[in-house]
Amino acid sequence: MNHLIKLSVKAYQSKLAYILRHTLQVMFPIILVGSFAEVLRFTFFSKSGYISTITNLNQWLPLYNNLTQLTDLIFECTINIIALYAAFFSTQYTLKAYQKEIPGGAMVGLLAYLIIAYQNSGNNGFSFNNYLVSQGMLLGIIVGYITGRVLALFINDQTHSVTELIKPIVIISLIAALINLLLVFVNQISLPTYVASYITGSTGSQAFWYVIGMGMLTDIMATFAIGGPFINSPTFTDAPSWANLMHALKTGSAWNAPFKYTDTTIFHSFANFGGSGCVLALIIAILLVSHEHRYRSVSKWSLFPAIFNNHYSMMLGIPILYNPIFFIPFVVAPLINMLIAGGLLSLNLIPAAVYPVPAGTPAPLIALIGTNGNWGVFFLSLVLIVIDVIVYIPFVKVAEKIIAESGVKHEK
């Protein structure tokens, strides 16, 4: 363990870690505001949202539609263009890491990413690839890093003039345009449809291990800011969900559902507390044992969004993204939950969550509502959260030790 800590300390002191750490941390306030806006928009100010559903908020709250528009606007301009911020700040801190002072340098990184994400919508339309803008943070960081290195290579910050920016901007723009052309030929796979069709045509054991594998893949990809197969909230419109719901309506019970092992019944019901990686458990672990001021501050601010399964602010504020220390519990905690829940489902000790739940339902309540009020699954959810907290605690302590020994607490 000491050897691992020494390696981690050395990694934390590298230029690449400096760039990643500062890029994510400086984005934290923006994404935190966006997280609050997203929760309010889809949980409070949406007619299908959890709070709006149980309180009929849209019927008595003044300016309900205006608040919906306001929170939607903030969400769209923060979280939904997160990759643009990543490209900008990654360029800025790459230049700073290599001790280059280039006015406007960060804007070149933003320009490069806008060129990559641009798409021709026809009829002189002007738009950008929504997936690249909202889910492409990793690509944004890479583009910013490369842009910063190119600028640092071509420009002497002691003598450079504005005209010296022309050559690297032309080179960067051409490379970005070529990447854009390549992306045009990339075919998109409809993962939700593929996942649903695989589950429908598989035996029980095959579907179980498939869901476990896809759940793990989703959490692994989340640590790299890439949307995985189960990253979206359940829609309850795929074939297995419809079959389960029809069975429940016909029999009047959630027991003995035909498709016990789906992303809804296992992953979203028991392995997504606070968002990917069971982030709610990490928040609780930090508040229980951490003495690191920044950890505690970020966790307190992130608690409200995490209750409604929004993990963005924790991913950037701690940060969890690209952090090898938190990678293990981030993947292992949900895996434990899925294995326990799947095992109990296979033994028919708990019913499957087959009923639709409102958007933004707090994670511990998803299984309860999805089973139409089975208190056994609610108790199971609480037990799993406790297990997840126990899993996270030693890694929180190790992370604090690495911060103290690496000296990053005092860097600027």
Show pLDDT as tens, one digit a residue, over the chain (412 residues).
566 667 767 777 788 889 999 999 999 999 999 999 999 999 999 888 899 888 988 888 889 899 999 999 999 999 999 999 999 999 999 999 988 888 888 999 999 999 999 987 766 667 888 888 888 899 999 999 999 999 988 877 665 667 778 889 999 999 999 999 888 766 444 444 455 555 554 555 688 899 899 999 999 999 988 877 887 766 666 778 888 888 888 888 888 888 888 888 899 889 989 988 999 999 999 999 999 999 999 999 999 999 999 999 999 999 999 888 899 999 999 999 999 999 999 999 999 888 888 888 898 899 999 898 899 999 999 999 999 999 999 999 999 988 887 766 555 5
CB atoms under 10 Å from CB of 280, counted, come to 25
The two structure tokens encoding residue 102: 């280039």
**67 and 124 Cβ atoms separated by less than 8 Å:** no
- Amino acid 408: pLDDT: 60
- Residue 412 pLDDT: 52
CA–CA gap between residue 134 and residue 212 (Å, rounded)? 26
DSSP bridge partners of 49: 359
Which residues does 192 contact at the CB level (< 8 Å), separation at least 6?
A: 229, 232, 235, 238
The per-residue b/e assignment along 364-395, b for 16 or more CB within 10 angstroms, e otherwise, is bbbbbbbbeebeebbebbeebbebbbebbbeb
| DSSP annotation string for 252-288 | TSSTT-S---SIIIIIIHHS-TTSGGGHHHHHHHHHH
| 3 state DSSP class of 314 | helix
DSSP of 128-167, one letter per residue? E-HHHHHH-HHHHHHHHHHHHHHHHHH--TTT--GGGGHH
Phi-psi region of 355 (alpha: psi -120 to 50; beta: other; left: phi over 0): beta
Distance (Å, whole) CA 401 – CA 178? 44
Of 359, 378, 358, the closest CA to residue 368 belongs to 378
- The pLDDT, as a whole number, for residue 2 is 65
The predicted pLDDT at position 68 comes to 93
pLDDT for residue 24: 93
